[in-house]
Amino acid sequence: MGEKRYYMSQTTILFCALAVIAIAGLVGLLCGILPECAEPIEATKPPPTEPPATEPPQTTHKIPKEIWEDLRLPTSLKPHHYEIYLKTDITNKIFDGSVDILFSCEIATKYIMLHSNALNIVEGSATLRNINGLEVPELSEPWLYQPNQYLVVELSDELTKGEMYEFSVSFGAPLAEVLMGYYLSSYTKNDEKRYLGTTQFAPTDARRAFPCFDEPAMKANFTLTMDYEAEYHVISNMPEESTEDLPDDWKKTKFAMSVPMSTYLLCWVVSDFVFKSGVTNNGVEMRLWAREDAIDFVDYALQKGIEQLDFFDEYFGIKFPLPKMDMIAIPDFSAGAMENWGLITYRETALLYEEGVSSAGNKQSVCSIVAHELAHQWFGNLVTLKWWDDTWLNEGFASYVEYLGADYSEPLWGMTDQFVARTLQRVLVTDSLATSRPISIPVSTPEEINQQFDIISYNKGASLMRMCSFFLGESTFQKGLKNYLEYFKYGNAENNDLWMFLSEAAEEDGLIIDVKQIMDTWTLQMGYPNVRIDRQYGSGPEFTANQTRFLIDPEGNTTTEYGDLGYQWYVPLTYVTAEDPRDPEIGGLNWLDPKTERTVALTNLDDNEWLLVNYDERGYYRVNYDAKNWDLLKAQLISDHEVISIASRSALLGDAFNLARAGALNQTTALDQTLYLVNEREYIPWYTVSSVTGYIDLMLSRSGAYGSFEKYMLQQVTPLYEDVGWEDTGTHLERRVRSIAVSFACGYGNENCTRTAIGMFKEWMDNPAKNTIHPDLKYYVYCTAIAAGGQDEWFFALEQYQATSSSSEQSNLRSAMACANEPWILSTYLEYSRDKDLIRSQDEIGVITSVASNTVGAPLAWDYFRGNWDYLFDMYGQTAFSFSDLVEGVTRKFNTEFAMEELKKFMVEHPDQGTASRTFVQMVEATQANIRWMDYHYDDVERWLKGAVPN
Ligand code: BES
Ligand code: ZN
């Protein structure tokens, strides 16, 4: 159906033109009653798109008896403008207010139904008026249908189709303690506890702050007025229009009316924070806000933010539409950051960079997260998904272009290569489970919606965008994107819309390609292919390619609730050879179509020269070769690894180990690929090594082979370790690889490393005022010393944790405290994790999962998790990221039948698993795969390791 929409017939064009006129008329009407509506923003709005052929998920559940039983709002009422008035009393930790919602009646109805959750509705406050002064039906007292978080008003008669109404209601609530809706955050300044009120609405919590039509396609203009105590100030999406003093040391601020936007992107913050500011080349004022003690650490983000806002103006071909951009570091924040339009909120560690205290890794996260949230200002905010089914489009896209933004402002960081190790390879692991999910699935409840924010949406989404940009060519991809944004701006779209614009751009550039047909094979079914390459030696030269679905546990149960397309894909193949090792264009782009075998002729390749397919891992798939080609690749790596590109080296390691895990390749062949590591000095391949050997470490950690594994790892990493040393010097990538080198060296017991680390920590303990350990190594030094030490080291770390106001230093210490080896210390730490005066609720899950990642701590964390399930469920069971992280964290090491039984038993006893329900099922599969790994591969790996190290 997507095709039809854009091959516009004359009548469609006429319809669109009429729709534009109709909308302009409506705005005229709006302006009549809204004095601040000077610019008819909606007049330039594109026509609304036709509804998709596959209707939104209403159709997926049974027809409800009452309208409030439907999980989606009816389309009978359409909001146009919200006048929100709020009074925030930080001292008493409450807020109250009113909202006047201007809406049109699209279908005659006897109900006004909108979202509301955890709000007290003031009795008798609901009113309704007709904008044209016509009589309106009688209202019932609003009542709440809690299962769907609806506020329902029943009317004595129907509202009239085509008429505009204003519904008003008053409400109030305590500022929330959970980090959702309008909530309270706090910090300490001069030993005094200070508070702020801030919002987190995505994806379904604007309804906790005011009654609203809380669905992304229900866009409207918002005008906010705030009363607050005079010691604070307030910021929101739009610039402030006026502020006046009120009696008793209160103030009133009114904000400019917003552009048409979705409720989940609204934001306001009442705080005593301060800011630093700058202006972009295109004249947008950017202000960076933080608590006063941290304001000096916003400089880096301010500089990158300004650069990147200009970069995205250019990249998307549309100027950022708001006059200002605020970014603020919030002390208590559930996610990492949130792209509210014009007011981006961040966790402190995602925005603050403290020279000399924060690591190169912290710096990189700041740069990437800022880029990610800025990219959303266009992709997500200006053009919004129709419904949360397409969350992946939003998050995947931002997760792809964040690398482009970061690469633009930090060109020496190898960001495009980093994509492979940090984003692509991580999701290839999850997506090889039979219990993965298609990237595009129907969702309805807040719980299902929150579960959409997973690695599949983010990392697979990003990897598919990147693949698409490679097979179309970057400029064609960008052109399609620009047209898409221009067409849908201030409106909503779905993935078929994007495919259509990309196909059109390709056609304009002389490429006939049906993007939807290709991309459907990647988005409508889970998983990805394992492409098997067989070379014909002695003739040709040529190779054949075949695809099968890649499953990490081919013996696992593959029944699933989701559909598929036979698990065949349109696979874009690129390759390089020993003859042309760095030019993937030489071989061109070869499509491997579903259910076919592809033979590709090679020019000029000797039987004794290697072939490498999927250059720089541009495609979302794995590659397996015949044994001889694996040998040729290994030989090249050993003789001169730099002939093969950095990202391709990383790809070879990732593929070899995972193919071996799945039984598609010998463990020996995979392990052979690591022999060359004595010569590897690059961060990205080492990053991949740390994840693939991390898995083997996990499996062997309680087995007899661990000793040989430790020796082998040390043998391979020592040359790197000796090369990078302990000095705080070098490029960004050298700093990053130094962290890995020290982590491996100290982690696997290099004497020099542990001695140095313990000595440094001791020096710090002797003189707590002077910490000379350099930022990139802090965590590893703390961890090593705490692991080797006892209660003195641990309680010293805890004291430092409480003493510092630096969030990155706190984060180092918090993770390092989980490295203790004494069970009683770890148990104490787990108990402390729920003490809100010690550990912020945003960090609680992090404490539990870091204890779980310690071999001694793992069983303690699992027991703690089970023992405190009810509490943990109440606190985090509905959250987007934390709850599934928790479940994954405490079960990751499971590799025995006994652990499997415990896990299954727990699941049966706790059928309501909140936002972690899919993760639970995946962990059962992962545990099963781990058990099989021990059965099938343990002996081979042990034998190989024994042979690779001296006795
Ligand atoms: N839109 C998300 C934040 C979000 C999603 C908050 C769902 C609450 C529920 C934001 O753009 C995002 O993706 N944040 C990431 C960081 C990003 C750099 C990957 C996060 O919070 O981890
Ligand atoms: Zn995002």
Which of 332, 368, 373, 465 maximizes ligand 1 atoms within 8 Å of its Cβ, making it the mutation to test the pocket? 373
How confident is the model at residue 30, as a pLDDT?
A: 34
pLDDT over 60 at 496, yes or no: yes
Cα(612)–Cα(648) distance, integer angstroms? 8
Q: Which two tokens stand for residue 355?
A: 């020279």
**Using CA atoms, how far apart are residues 137 and 443, in angstroms rounded to an integer?**
35
- 528 contacts 626 by C-beta, under 8 angstroms: no
Q: Above 60 in pLDDT, residue 799?
A: yes
Q: With 80 as the cut, is the pLDDT of residue 639 above it?
A: yes
pLDDT reported for residue 62:
59
For residue 586, the model assigns a pLDDT of 84
330 in contact with ligand 1, CB cutoff 6 A:
no
**Contact assessment for residue 374 and residue 269, using Cβ atoms and an 8 Å cutoff:** no
Give the up-direction half-sphere exposure of residue 823: CA atoms within 13 A in the CB hemisphere. Answer: 8
Which residue in the block uniquely carries the two structure tokens 């003031």? Answer: 122
Is the pLDDT reported for residue 36 higher than 70? Answer: no
User: Which residue CA neighbors atom 2 of ligand 1 most closely?
Assistant: 338
The per-residue pLDDT for range 435-467, each reduced to its tens digit, is 999 999 999 999 999 999 999 999 999 999 999
337 touches ligand 1 (CB under 6 Å)? yes
Mean pLDDT of 377-387: 98
**DSSP calls for 100-112:** EEEEEESS--SEE
As a whole number of angstroms, the distance between CA 142 and CA 150 comes to: 10
Q: Is 719 in the pocket of ligand 1 (CB under 6 A)?
A: no
pLDDT at 32 over 70: no
Ligand nearest to the CA of 878: 1
User: Does residue 338's CB lie within 6 angstroms of at least one atom of ligand 1?
Assistant: yes
Instruction: Find the helix or strand (DSSP H, E) in which 470 lies.
Output: helix 461-472
Q: Which CATH architecture has domain 42-272?
A: Sandwich (2.60)
Q: Is the pLDDT of residue 912 over 90?
A: yes
Cβ contact 136:128 at 8 Å? yes
pTM of the model: 0.93
Q: Is the CB of 872 under 6 A from ligand 1?
A: no
Give tens-digit pLDDT for 98-137: 999 999 999 999 999 999 999 999 999 999 999 999 999 9
By most ligand atoms within 8 Å of CB, the mutation choice from 264, 265, 266, 338 for ligand 1 is: 338
pLDDT of res. 56? 43
Q: Which helix (H) or strand (E) holds 245?
A: strand 240-246
**Ligand 1 atom closest to 336 (CA):** 21
pLDDT at position 3 is 28
| Number of Cβ atoms within 10 Å of the Cβ of 802 | 11
CA of 449 to the centre of ligand 2 (A): 14
Distance 400 CA to ligand 2 centre (A): 10
Q: Which ligand is nearest to the CA of 397?
A: 2
**Closest atom of ligand 1 to CA, residue 373:** 11
Residue-wise DSSP of 139-170: BPPPEEEGGGTEEEEEBSSPPPTT-EEEEEEE
380 CB within 6 A, ligand 1: no
Residue 939 — pLDDT band, cuts 50, 70, 90? Answer: very high
Q: Are the C-beta atoms of residues 677 and 717 closer than 8 Å to each other?
A: yes
Q: Does ligand 1 come within 6 angstroms of the Cβ of 366?
A: no
* Residues at Cβ < 5 Å from ligand 2 ion: 395, 398
Q: What distances in angstroms separate CA 562 from CA 57, 453, 505, 527, 918, one per listed residue?
A: 15, 18, 32, 12, 13
Q: What is the pLDDT of residue 47?
A: 37
The DSSP H or E segment spanning 479 is: helix 474-488
- In the reported structure, the alpha carbon of residue 368 is separated from the centroid of ligand 2 by a whole-number distance in angstroms of 11
Q: Which atom of ligand 1 is nearest to the CA of 335?
A: 21
Q: Which ligand sits closest to the CA of 881?
A: 1
pLDDT digits (tens, 9 = 90+) for 868-903: 999 999 999 999 999 999 999 999 999 999 999 999
Check residues 235 and 539 and name the one with the higher pLDDT. Answer: 235
CATH 1.25.50.20 maps onto the chain at 16-26+680-948
User: What confidence score (pLDDT) does residue 10 get?
Assistant: 31
* Residue 158: both structure tokens together: 């129907």
CB 215 within 8 A of CB 387: yes
Confidence of residue 801 (pLDDT cuts 50, 70, 90): very high
Ligand 1 atom 17, closest CA: 369
| Structure confidence by residue, pLDDT tens digits, 729-766 | 999 999 999 999 999 999 999 999 999 999 999 999 99
Answer yes or no: is the C-beta of 354 below 6 A from any ligand 1 atom. no
Residue 336 Cα to ligand 1 midpoint, Å, equals: 6
**Look-up of token digits 């403290």:** 354
Cα 36 to middle of ligand 1, angstroms: 33
According to the model, what pLDDT value does residue 63 have? 66
User: Pairing state of beta strands 622-625 and 529-535?
Assistant: parallel
Q: Whose CA is nearest to atom 22 of ligand 1?
A: 336
pLDDT value, residue 21: 33
Secondary structure element (H or E) that encloses residue 591, with its range? strand 590-592
Which ligand is closest in space to the CA of residue 338? 1
Is the distance from the beta carbon of residue 454 to the nearest atom of ligand 1 less than 6 Å? no
Q: What DSSP element (H or E) covers 396?
A: helix 391-409
The top-level CATH class assigned to 16-26+680-948 is mainly alpha
Region(s) of the chain under CATH 2.60.40.1730 = 42-272
pLDDT tens digit string along 760-784? 999 999 999 999 999 999 999 999 9
CA–CA gap between residue 653 and residue 674 (Å, rounded): 7
Q: Identify which ligand lies nearest to the alpha carbon of 371.
A: 1
Q: Is the CB of 371 under 6 A from ligand 1?
A: no
Half-sphere exposure of 586 (CA within 13 A, CB side): 19
From residue 25, how far is each of 78, 164, 457, 496 by CA, in Å? 15, 13, 39, 30
Distance CA 796, CA 812 (A): 14
Of ligand 1's listed atoms, the one at least distance from the Cα of 399 is 19
Mutate to test the pocket of ligand 1, among 180, 204, 372, 460 (most ligand atoms within 8 A of CB): 372
Contact assessment for residue 533 and residue 625, using Cβ atoms and an 8 Å cutoff:
yes
Q: Which atom of ligand 1 is nearest to the CA of 368?
A: 18
What does the pLDDT read at residue 559? 78
- Quote the mean pLDDT of the chain: 93
Between CA 258 and CA 73, with CA 159 as vertex, the angle to 5 degrees is: 55
Q: What is the pLDDT of residue 43?
A: 29
Query: Is the CB of 464 inside a 6 Å radius of any atom of ligand 1?
Result: no
pLDDT digits (tens, 9 = 90+) for 71-95: 999 999 999 999 999 999 999 999 9
Catalytic residue annotation = 373
Protein residue whose Cα sits closest to atom 3 of ligand 1:
338
What are the structure tokens assigned to 357, written together? 């205290």
Assign 772 to helix, strand or coil: coil
Rg (CA), the chain: 29
Q: Is the CB of 880 under 6 A from ligand 1?
A: yes
